[in-house]
Structure 1
């Protein structure tokens, strides 16, 4: 099975700049003027230009205000503090404090397009610290 991440964004240029600066992804292929493939993660990320106000899933209208979804992506990093600083400088919004647990450290952020992300730094054996 192959996993692809597709993110609706209102502006491809702004989204490309954010994801390159915040997460170190690299632009790869462009598909017309509406889709950009980014590489550098375990799964490719596709930015899909979709206008705010256009119809999204289940007949709902797309909004790029901060929104809740039951799905978010964790970005595993070696240095949480440096990764958070880089993401904030690129335009992310921090949502809460860094939390620490036996498995590691985590902080919630939002990209400029309303999507939620977590930056996650594993410590020790990572989730192995709490696995039974």
Structure 2
């Protein structure tokens, strides 16, 4: 199986600039005027230009204000403060303080297009610190 990540955005150039600056991704391929592939993560990320108010699914239209979805992306980083500063300076919106856990630290943010993201800094064995050995 191969996983691909597709993200709808209203402004392809602005989204490309954000994801390059915030997460250090690099443009790889373009597919016409409406799609760019970014690499540098374990899975390729595809930015898809989709106009606000265009049909997303019946009966809803796309809305690029901050939205909630049960799906979000986590980015594992070595230095949480540095990664957060980079993302914020690129245009991310912070959504709370850094939180501590047995497995590491986490902070929530949103990209400029309403998508939720978390930055994670693992400690020790990461999630294995809390994994059930069964």
| Greater than 4 Å deviation, 4+ residue runs | none
TM-score calculated relative to the size of structure 1: 0.99
Structure 2: distance between partners of 1:23 and 1:105: 18
Structure 2: distance between partners of 1:70 and 1:44: 21
Matching residue of 2:27: 27
**SS of 2:61's equivalent?**
coil
**SS of 2:78's equivalent?**
coil
Matching residue of 1:18: 18
TM-fit CA distance, 1:131:
1.0
Structure 1: distance between partners of 2:131 and 2:50: 40
For residues 44-76 of structure 1, the C-alpha deviation after alignment (integer angstroms, 9 at most, x for no partner) is 000000000100024311000000000000000
Matching residue of 1:66: 66
Matching residue of 2:3: 3
Structure 2: distance between partners of 1:31 and 1:20: 18
TM-score calculated relative to the size of structure 2: 0.97
Matching residue of 1:43: 43
Matching residue of 2:77: 77
Q: Where does the alignment leave 5 or more consecutive residues of structure 2 unmatched? A: none
